[in-house]
Structure 1
Amino acid sequence: MKLLLKLAILISSISGLANAAEKVCIDPGHQAKGNMQTEEVAPGSSKRKPKVAYGTKGVATKKPEYQLALEVGLKLRDALKAKGYSVFMVREKNDVNISNKERALMTNKAGCDVYLRLHADASENSSTRGVTVLTSSSKNPHTKSVQQSSDKFSKAILSEYTKATGFKSRGVSYRDDLTGTNWSTVTNTLLEMGFMTNPEEDRKMASPDFQNVMVKSIVNGIEKYFREK
């Protein structure tokens, strides 16, 4: 038994060292107060968008999206660190003023291997539900170096997340108008964790126990990507 225990500890230690070679960036979307000043949507682009939108809020819980994103983000940080990963957090509090462009540049500078942006969705139709991952298309001239890896990363996160949560998969949405994506030189995806305008999904995502399920599934998705890349 002692030999088996020592072997288990050794394997865990080796796994932790391997994971430490991978650096994950977590970007909890939005912030306590939006910033409607504008910035370029991509390097060299004449198109501009607000630096940070206000986000949505729970139709049942009244919880703002920025708060939900941070709650999940902090739990995800702790879960990844417990597995030995290096983690870079774009924000660890709600009272910040960091634009989408700045978030991407921070991640680039931090030398992250993957960049995960956490958000929640909204719709005028309260019956709309499910999970979407967003990343750039193969036609985007600004993201050519990471588009294919970002596509694989997006699909890995979506697969594991929907499997664990039971939320409907709405697939990958290829968007070339996302500032944080266009400025990123890191493999990336934006996870719309569910619809806060759907009462059932809103209540589930606000539940600490269900957040643990969400976090575990995201960790599984990250590990799936690193394992298969």
Structure 2
Amino acid sequence: MRRYIVPLIMAAVMMVNLSGCTNNILNKSTASVINSSIQNKESKSKDNINTNSNKQINSDTQKKDIVDAKALKDTKKNEVSKESKVIVIDAGHGGKATLEKEPIAPGSTVMKAKDVAGATGVSTGTPEYVVNLNVAAKLKNYLSKAGYKVIMTRTSNNQTMGNIARAEVGNKNNANLVIRIHADSFTSPSAKGASMLVPGSVGYSKDISGISKKYGEIIFNTLVNQVGMKSKGIITRTDLTGFNWSKVPVILIEMGFLSNPDEDKLLSSDSYQNQIAEGLFKGIQKAFLGAES
């Protein structure tokens, strides 16, 4: 009996030990699988975070590239736009009046002098044509530096030119804008202020009266606010030869009254002329941007 008991006991002990080893092996194996799973999940989670982060960075980079590309495109477009824009500056009157007459509009029997002498400063004695050319030259400087192509109808005070000929400068060059520079005068010395004249629907100008008025309003409002002038408003004129023969947008600025002692002194001063030129320049910039938007 005893010889059977000992082997049984030993077998039982071995089974217990074997069972314990098996459990330890299983536990270690299970732990290894769990740890491996956790590590894989953590690794995938990190990979996902890195991937999402990279996607966000790439997305932000792409957006920035798009914005930068658009800004560059807009800048180049603006540069090209300026280079392609032609502005004719018509400094009103000249050193010699031309009393020979010409038709006020195409096909019209109404005749007007080609070019009268213009006004003279009541206090300074400065001729209007001198003031007009000074402001025109300063405006040309602003526009040329900004990249516009600028054409002057006259560059000296010795030139004589009729109003049809002045209009033809704009027509032949297919100008985007003709701006006529003038100063006003009246019998009463109390009259003062600036005004913007725009064409009505007469002659060739009937096709460009709308855009001319739009440009005139923007440019005039900018000028008045910039310089602090008294405004006499926007005035439509159908009796001006230079308007009626124009096939391109055209406006005429009356900068103030040379018959008013105070405005005469201002208009004859270099600093005030420069202020007017700068105000007109800024207005032209805004007018073109407004038309293209």
TM-score (norm 1): 0.91
| Separation (CA, whole Å) in 2 of partners of 1:24 and 1:41 | 23
Kindly provide the CA deviation profile for residues 54-95 of structure 1, in whole angstroms up to 9, marking residues without a partner as x. 100111111100000000001111110000111011000011
Which structure would you say has the larger Rg? 2
Deviation at 1:142, TM superposition (A): 3.5
Which residue in 1 is equivalent to 2:184?
Answer: 121
Which residue in 2 is equivalent to 1:169?
Answer: 231
Which residue in 2 is equivalent to 1:83?
Answer: 146
Structure (1 or 2) with the greater strand fraction: 1
Amino acid at match of 2:84: A
| Separation (CA, whole Å) in 1 of partners of 2:145 and 2:80 | 12
The answer to whether the 8 A contact 1:16-1:85 is kept is: no
Deviation at 1:16, TM superposition (A): 3.9
The answer to whether the 8 A contact 1:29-1:117 is kept is: yes
Amino acid at match of 2:244: N
Q: Say if 2:81 is the partner of 1:18.
A: yes
Which of 180, 183, 206 matches 2:268?
Answer: 206
Q: Say if 2:220 is the partner of 1:158.
A: yes
- Could you say what secondary structure the match of 1:84 adopts? coil
Kindly provide the CA deviation profile for residues 110-129 of structure 1, in whole angstroms up to 9, marking residues without a partner as x. 12100000000001111110
| Separation (CA, whole Å) in 1 of partners of 2:80 and 2:128 | 34
Any stretches of 5+ residues in structure 1 without a counterpart?
1-9
Alignment RMSD (CA, Å): 1.9
Which is bigger in relative contact order (C-alpha 8 A, separation at least 6)? 1
Which of 231, 242, 260 matches 1:180?
Answer: 242
Which residue in 2 is equivalent to 1:72?
Answer: 135
The answer to whether the 8 A contact 2:88-2:169 is kept is: no
Calculate percent identity across the aligned residue pairs.
35
Task: Flag the 1:85–1:132 CA change in 2: closer, same or farther, 3 A.
Answer: same
The answer to whether the 8 A contact 1:146-1:185 is kept is: yes
| Separation (CA, whole Å) in 2 of partners of 1:56 and 1:141 | 27
The answer to whether the 8 A contact 1:88-1:112 is kept is: no
- Could you say what secondary structure the match of 2:207 adopts? coil
Which range moves more in the overlay, 159-168 or 174-183?
159-168
Deviation at 1:15, TM superposition (A): 4.5
